[in-house]
Structure 1
Amino acid sequence: MEALDYKNASAICQDTILVAAESGNRDIVQEIVGILPLAVYFTNSYNQSFIHLAVKNRCEKVFNLLYQSNNCIYKYSTKFDNSGNSILHLAARLAPPHKLNLVSGAALQMQRELQWFKEASKFVTPYVKQQPNRSGQTAEMIFTEEHKELKIEGEKWMKDTANSCTIAAALIATVVFAAAITVPGGNQSDGYPMFHKSSAFTIFAVSDAVSLFTSTTSLLMFLSILTSRYAEQDFLYALPKRLCIGLFTLFVSILFMMIAFSSTLYLVFGRKKAWVLLPVGALTCLPISSFVLLQYPLLKDVISSTYGRGIFGKQSDRPFP
């Protein structure tokens, strides 16, 4: 391309591609680069390219264009802005508030920030990872400093959630353990339970045992959260994993506790007073549905952010220069 043509194209496209990258408009960036490949080298007054702006503003759709380029590590990993910041330095900075608030809970926000930092590190060389900017700060130093307050808030959020759920799990474990000892109907003279031949009693025994085991597991998971060291990297996988297991097993324990309770009422009243079963069955669904409505959004967010597909990855087979 001749110098004049490049200058004219630059005047037309430079601001457009940078604004599109900053706002997360992936299609415009891809179309401009498809027509004018040299547009990847356009920079703003701070010498920041479109990928710098995408990382700085947490625009994952634009950032994912890197997965469509075979030689992106050579094009972008050695680029520094006027302050000596690489894309990893910018990923280490705290996300803009409007992007941070898209994730619920300080702990999950910390996890998302760690995911960005980890993903950006894949596209830089080992030399760049250790390279300080003009202020003498490496990317890891910036991340620790910028996320100090968020880490404290995430720790508090995790502990408050674990404390609340620990109380519930402990109460359930106590109740179902007592129910296993004092079986409905009492025991016969030979030591066998009165209703040991009934299928409802089998359902009670199995449900009570499952509820005891799952509530104990949930209790241990939440206790491990309370006693965690709360290092930065723990928010990436370890703590969310424990929270997932704890919430899921707590839900299972509540479910089987209600089944065990319903089986007990059937054994004691159901065979002679069948009308009791209808209101009992309806009321059994109340705590289960309440837990699902109140805690399922949190459990869904934790599972999605920890085990889901994630926001990073190749979005198209169209090659990117």
Structure 2
Amino acid sequence: MVVGVELRRREGMYVDGAKNGIQEIVEEILVVFPDAISCVDKEKHSALHLAVMYRREHVFNFIIQQMGVRKKLLLKVDKGGNNILHLVGRMPYQPQLEVVSGAILQMQRELQWYKEVEKLVSVQATTTMNRDKQTPMMVFEENHRRMIQSEEQWIVSMASACTVSTTIIGTIAFSAAIQVPGGNNPEGHTILYEGTDFTIFAISNAVALYSAISTFLIFLSIFTTRYAAIDFLYSLPNRLIIGLTSLFVSITSTIIAFSSALYLIFVQENKSLILPPVVIMSFGLVIVFAFLQFPLLLNMMKTTYGQSMFKLSNGRNSRKGIRF
């Protein structure tokens, strides 16, 4: 009887450890009681189910790497007839959504969970209906509908602001290309054509114009996307990464072109003392933009191109199978 009480206590600790993401407890109990791998809670949720429902990737990775238990656990269903793919389609608790910042990253993380579990189950599990007559994807879309709508508004607002910015930058760069610093001589040639300073101005101004046009086209493609749930996994993050990077390049190139133009003008008029404060203020704008946008950009690059939070049984990274 004492042994039975101790076993139930450890099984409860095992389930709670999986729910709360405490991998050490899960490992220790499985070493002492290997049969605990099959224990479930009142709703017939196994530890693997709970790891998926609470988005505990460390516990999830550990359990699926245990020899001989993966298939057995993946076939389990709860009282509502939900298999593990149905459960991953549910919304996790808000604290788990706050692990990543930025609206699009939350939806991307949810899709990464769904696609990873989908690779582990059989094809039949993707079309199996629960007691509510819903397939796993139907559960996912229903539970994440509000998140998709909210993030669509966020992306459209961001794309609108960036489009306006690139339009202004492109207009400035095009005007500077026509009305070059120093003006033209009677033959129509630029007076300040000779010298490295003018070359820097011309190249940076051209880069600013082309990158601004590229940014405009990228964000224009965001307006025309269908905003399906699957687009938040790779398509939309990829476009935002390219768009924000291109916008940063256009802003930086515009500042360089502006500084070069001031240098060409003021040096000719022996007013070089005006240049340092103007240049400092100009590049201060670039620093502000980088400070505000780089955290989001780096997070998107990390979750889209970086190492996956999931690992296969052989320990290799499974990011390759997530993109499509």
Q: Under a length normalisation based on structure 2, what TM-score does the superposition of the two structures give?
A: 0.92
* Other-structure match for 2:26: 29
Q: Is the 8 A contact 1:65 1:314 kept in 2?
A: no
Helix, strand or coil at the partner of 1:160: helix
- Does 1:56 find its partner at 2:53? yes
Q: Is the 8 A contact 2:169 2:251 kept in 1?
A: yes
In structure 1, stretches of 5+ residues that fail to align are none
* Other-structure match for 1:41: 38
Q: Is the 8 A contact 1:166 1:222 kept in 2?
A: yes
Using the alignment, how far apart are the partners of 1:174 and 1:67 within structure 2? 55
Q: Post-superposition shift, 1:130?
A: 1.4
In structure 2, stretches of 5+ residues that fail to align are 316-324
Residue 243 (structure 1) aligned to one of 235, 240, 244? 240
Helix, strand or coil at the partner of 2:120: coil
Q: Post-superposition shift, 1:244?
A: 0.6
* Other-structure match for 2:145: 148
Q: Post-superposition shift, 1:82?
A: 1.6
Q: Structure 2 counterpart of 1:219, which letter?
A: F
* Other-structure match for 1:223: 220
Q: Is the 8 A contact 2:219 2:239 kept in 1?
A: yes
- Does 1:184 find its partner at 2:204? no
* Other-structure match for 1:106: 103
Helix, strand or coil at the partner of 1:122: helix
Residue 297 (structure 1) aligned to one of 257, 270, 295? 295
**Relative to 1, partners in 2 of residues 1:71 and 1:315: Cα closer, same or farther, differing over 3 Å?**
closer
Using the alignment, how far apart are the partners of 2:124 and 2:312 within structure 1? 25
Q: Structure 2 counterpart of 1:260, which letter?
A: A
- Does 1:207 find its partner at 2:204? yes
Q: Structure 1 counterpart of 2:33, which letter?
A: L
* Other-structure match for 2:16: 19
Q: Structure 2 counterpart of 1:74, which letter?
A: K
Q: Post-superposition shift, 1:219?
A: 0.9
Using the alignment, how far apart are the partners of 2:235 and 2:273 within structure 1? 48
* Other-structure match for 2:283: 285
Using the alignment, how far apart are the partners of 1:5 and 1:211 within structure 2? 76
Residue 310 (structure 2) aligned to one of 306, 309, 312? 312
Identity in percent: 41
* Aligned-residue RMSD, C-alpha: 1.9
Using the alignment, how far apart are the partners of 2:207 and 2:125 within structure 1? 52
Residue 276 (structure 1) aligned to one of 264, 268, 274? 274
- Does 1:169 find its partner at 2:134? no
Aligned length: 314
Using the alignment, how far apart are the partners of 1:279 and 1:186 within structure 2? 25
Using the alignment, how far apart are the partners of 2:228 and 2:20 within structure 1? 32
Post-superposition Cα deviations, 1:107-128, rounded to whole Å, max 9, x if no partner, equal 2221111111111112211122
Q: Is the 8 A contact 2:64 2:70 kept in 1?
A: no
Q: Under a length normalisation based on structure 1, what TM-score does the superposition of the two structures give?
A: 0.93
Q: Structure 1 counterpart of 2:220, which letter?
A: L
Post-superposition Cα deviations, 1:138-162, rounded to whole Å, max 9, x if no partner, equal 1011011111111110110110111
Helix, strand or coil at the partner of 1:69: coil
Q: Structure 2 counterpart of 1:135, which letter?
A: D
Using the alignment, how far apart are the partners of 2:142 and 2:175 within structure 1? 50
Q: Post-superposition shift, 1:189?
A: 3.0
Helix, strand or coil at the partner of 1:259: helix
Using the alignment, how far apart are the partners of 1:102 and 1:135 within structure 2? 30
Q: Which has the higher contact order (CA 8 A, sep 6+)?
A: 1
